[in-house]
Amino acid sequence: MTLFEVEQLSLHYLTRFGEKIHAVTDVSFTMKKGEILGIAGESGCGKSTLVNGLMGLFIPPLYPTDGIVKVAGESLMNRTPEDIRKNVLSRKVSMIPQGAFNALNPTRKIKDIAADVIAAHMKDIDRKAIHTRLRERFDLFGMNTEKVLNSYPIQLTAGERQRSVIGISTLLNPRMVIADEPTSALDVSTQKIVIKMIFNLLEKEIFSTMIFITHELPLLRHVADTIAIMYAGEFVELGTAEQIIFDPRHPYTKALMGAMLSAEAGQKQKKPTAIEGAPPNLAKPITGCRFAERCPVAKPQCHHTKQNMRIIADRQVRCEYAQ
């Protein structure tokens, strides 16, 4: 069953100079129940912007340009921020922003932050019922429930804080959870604990699908079922985790995989590939392939022929010369 549908979504920022920055262009994908989609790409390519669009939450200077986002058949487009906050966020789509675990309200205990989320969405529930619910839910997270619920954020380790953030974001059993670099500030051992918790919640159907954004490709290999690679606002390749990591076809995906660093013994001599230059200016119309300027195998025509997604080797690739 298709749970999440995105069709040709484009988004832009309207700057103070009246300039439109086309941060996301023509993104389409669908997700099924139980699926984790990983998104990786150039830093600044539009991942965090896309995430806001996927919630239907448009707060100036961000605006939708075109396209549709649907959760379980319901469109999130053309709705007011109040409507989205009240009826969509936390219940249907939940988002864990970049750096969220450092942004918990320092003056409130975890149990109060969590209770507010429940109280805001369920009118006739009393304090006691809320706390019973909280305990039951936090018992699933493999932490000392009482200690965590009764602590202020700064009294907790980074791992406990991030697990609390994920726990609070999923209290109302949203269908979709979008996590923006949820583990990149954590050390490897803490990261592993957090990922185990995410798998456990997915298995227990506390949420149904997840979008996981990270720069760490080896992590995506273990976490994601499918991976989308983004460059300059577009998806350039979309396939299974195996396909993208071990058999990339788009020149940018190839460059990215070649730049992976690994502490696997004996790999020290392997030099990661760097690509010089910078992505194109998104405030100007772009006619050709967006990667052409930096592509090691670009042909003259690439600079002025727009590239569309096409199927190559069972996955989508935005390059007509990819094989």
Partner 1 sequence: MLNKNSIFAANNCTREFGTGKKIVRAVDNTTFSIESGEIVSIVGGSGCGKSVLAKMMLGLYKPTDGTLLYNNAPVTNTKIHWREVQAVFQDPFSCFNQFFTIRSQLKDAFGILQEKPSHKEIEKRIDNALLAVNIKPHEISGKYPFELSGGQMQRMLLARIFILRPKVLIADEPTSMVDACVRANILDYLMKLKEELKMTIVFVTHDIGLAYYVSDRLFIMHNGRIVEQGTPDEVTLSPRSEHTVRLLEDIPEIHRAWIC
Ligand X SMILES: Nc1ncnc2c1ncn2[C@@H]1O[C@H](COP(=O)(O)OP(=O)(O)OP(=O)(O)O)[C@@H](O)[C@H]1O
Q: Does 48 bind partner 1 (CB under 8 A)?
A: yes
d(CA 71, CA 80): 16
Nearer to Mg ion, 48 or 190 (CB): 48
Q: Which does 185 bind (CB under 5 to 8 A by kind): partner 1, Mg ion, ligand X, none?
A: partner 1
CB 110 within 8 A of CB 153: yes
**Residue 250 three-state SS:** coil
Q: Does 259 bind partner 1 (CB under 8 A)?
A: yes
Nearer to ligand X, 43 or 107 (CB): 43
Instruction: Give the strands of the sheet with 93-96, arranged side by side.
Output: 93-96, 176-180, 209-213, 36-41, 226-231, 234-240, 315-317, 310-312
Nearest distance in Å: CB 67, ligand X:
16
Q: Does 107 bind ligand X (CB under 6 A)?
A: no
Nearest distance in Å: CB 120, ligand X:
27
Q: Which residues contact 256 (CB under 8 A, 6 or more apart)?
A: 40, 41, 217, 229, 248
- Tell me which stretch binds ligand X (CB under 6 A): 38-46, 64-72, 161-169, 243-251: 38-46
Q: Does 154 bind partner 1 (CB under 8 A)?
A: no
Nearer to ligand X, 43 or 189 (CB): 43
With CB under 6 A as the contact rule, the residue among 34, 35, 44, 195 that binds ligand X is: 44
My answer on whether omega of the bond before 61 falls inside 30° of 0, hence cis, is: yes
Q: Does 218 bind partner 1 (CB under 8 A)?
A: yes
CB 36 within 8 A of CB 202: yes
Tokens of 165: 């953030």
CA quadruple 224, 145, 139, 91: dihedral sign: negative
**Residue 42 three-state SS:** coil
Residues 11-30 as x/- pattern, contact with ligand X by CB under 6 A: --x-x-----x-x-------
- In the complex, the residues that contact Mg ion under the rule CB under 5 A are 48
Give me the residues that bind partner 1 (CB under 8 A), please.
Answer: 13, 15, 17, 40-44, 48, 98-99, 157-159, 181, 184-192, 195-196, 199, 215-219, 221-222, 245-246, 255-257, 259-268, 272-279, 281
